[in-house]
């Protein structure tokens, strides 16, 4: 890797070489391996996030690489594996099938009405399970090879296999979850691996001992009840409560330190971009007014690192199929990669 770094000038024009940020690393030389998962079969509002990985990849070469937190963070070696194009074809097919189910339910009818859609539901759930298993195997292999791992979606259903791979290594870790939604619904719309069920499914993994959610503002009664009955395994920082504290004089830095205090030593960051103010990623699948500024989230992540906790990985999900969403998503990816590296120095 030393020769790669010696021959590379991070101040040059970004190289369009197929790799994230145009960096000159491959799987072998990189410490951080990023998997793009172009999957959004169960989305029930806006579509397009399946192209989020490619939008982020395309935008990433426009970024300057100097990072105020970790100026040499790029030297860790970052490599993005090829985005599986067959997933895009399967995604298109199963997305069309899922739309039939969503439409049927929206009309107040059951799936067993004629024509019976329950076989289609089973087929979709099996396809999503296969994606989870694929990602689990890829992440586990990379982790066993001594790599750090990150995932870019797609909708927020995609990182489940990654969570399971982390659980194979870490007997106790927490998730810091940025999102407008709690994603604690049980098989939303019948889809076992719905984007609205990712954290419900994550809570089935015993190694995940804490889930701290920040920015929630579009949530159902059952999710609030699950949070309240979790015996503090799930801690929610609702966006209206955050804003009320800030308006009342509490500083964001103090609130960040309070949020971080709930987390264990090892932390995965799960970043749904709809947790941000929608102006930042307006083409996300389910935009909600309100939310966080980008620098607010970076401040929170800095406090996580400053506390001595270790970032063990991250996922970025729900970036829309648009250049600006890709631009913002790429900046999140670079910041999280650099902070992950910094936390492990």
* Superfamily covering domain 2-343: Ureohydrolase domain (3.40.800.10)
* 274 is known to lie in a ligand binding site: yes
Q: In sequence order, what are the beta bridge partners of 177?
A: 213, 270
Token pair 């902070």 is at which residue? Answer: 339
First to last CA, the chain: 18
Confidence of residue 155 (pLDDT cuts 50, 70, 90): very high
Q: Give residue-wise pLDDT tens across range 98-139.
A: 888 888 888 888 888 889 888 888 989 899 999 999 999 999
166: Cβ–Cβ under 8 A, 6 or more apart, which residues?
139, 143, 173, 207, 268, 312, 313
Q: Which residues of 140-157 are buried (b: 16+ CB within 10 A; e: fewer)?
A: bebbeeebbbbbbbbbbb
Token pair 């072998």 is at which residue? Answer: 28
Q: What is the mean pLDDT of residues 179-188?
A: 92
DSSP state of 292: B
Task: Give one DSSP letter per residue of 130-174, joined into a string.
Answer: HHHHHHHHHHHHHHHTT-EEEEEESSTTTTHHHHHHHHHH-SSEE
* 341 is known to lie in a ligand binding site: no
pLDDT at 17: 82
Distance in angstroms (rounded) separating the CA atoms of residues 193 and 198: 7
Q: Give residue-wise pLDDT tens across range 28-82.
A: 999 999 999 999 998 877 789 999 999 999 999 999 999 999 999 999 999 999 9
pLDDT at 207: 98
* 272 is known to lie in a ligand binding site: yes
Higher pLDDT, 127 or 249: 249
Q: Give residue-wise pLDDT tens across range 306-315.
A: 999 999 999 9
* 179 is known to lie in a ligand binding site: yes
What phi-psi label fits residue 231: left (phi over 0), alpha (psi between -120 and 50 degrees) or beta? Answer: left
Of the listed ranges 125-134, 182-191, 229-238, 266-275, the one predicted with least confidence: 182-191
């Amino acid at each position: 890797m030393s020769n790669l770094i010696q021959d590379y000038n991070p101040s040059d024009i970004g190289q369009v070489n197929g790799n994230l940020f145009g960096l000159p690393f491959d799987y072998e030389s990189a410490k951080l391996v990023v998997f793009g998962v172009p999957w959004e079969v169960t989305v029930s509002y806006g579509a397009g996030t399946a192209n989020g990985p490619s939008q982020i990849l395309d935008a990433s070469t426009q970024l300057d690489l100097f990072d105020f937190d970790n100026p040499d963070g790029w030297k860790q070696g970052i490599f993005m594996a090829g985005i599986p194009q067959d997933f895009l074809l399967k995604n298109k097919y199963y997305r069309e099938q899922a739309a039939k189910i969503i439409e049927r339910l929206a009309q107040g009818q059951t799936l067993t009405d004629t024509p019976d859609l329950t076989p289609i539901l089973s087929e979709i759930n099996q396809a999503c399970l296969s994606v989870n298993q694929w990602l689990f195997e890829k992440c586990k292999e990379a982790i066993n090879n001594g790599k750090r791992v990150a995932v870019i979606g797609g909708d927020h259903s995609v990182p489940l296999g990654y969570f399971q791979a982390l659980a194979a290594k870490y007997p106790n870790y927490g998730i810091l979850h940025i999102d407008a939604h709690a994603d604690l619904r049980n098989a939303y719309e019948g889809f076992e691996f719905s984007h609205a069920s990712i954290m419900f499914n994550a809570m089935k993994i015993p190694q995940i001992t804490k889930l701290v959610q920040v920015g929630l503002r579009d949530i159902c009664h059952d999710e609030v009840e699950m949070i309240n009955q979790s015996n503090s395994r799930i801690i929610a920082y609702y966006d209206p409560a955050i804003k009320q504290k800030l308006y009342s004089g509490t500083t964001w830095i103090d609130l960040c330190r309070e949020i971080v205090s709930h987390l264990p030593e090892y932390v995965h960051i799960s970043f749904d971009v709809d947790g941000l103010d929608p102006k930042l990623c307006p083409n996300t699948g389910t935009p909600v007014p309100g939310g966080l500024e980008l620098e607010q989230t970076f401040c929170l992540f800095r406090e996580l690192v400053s506390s001595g906790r270790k970032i063990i990985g991250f996922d970025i999900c729900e970036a829309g199929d648009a250049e600006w969403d890709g631009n913002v998503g790429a900046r999140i990816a670079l910041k999280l990669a650099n902070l992950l590296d910094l936390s492990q120095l």
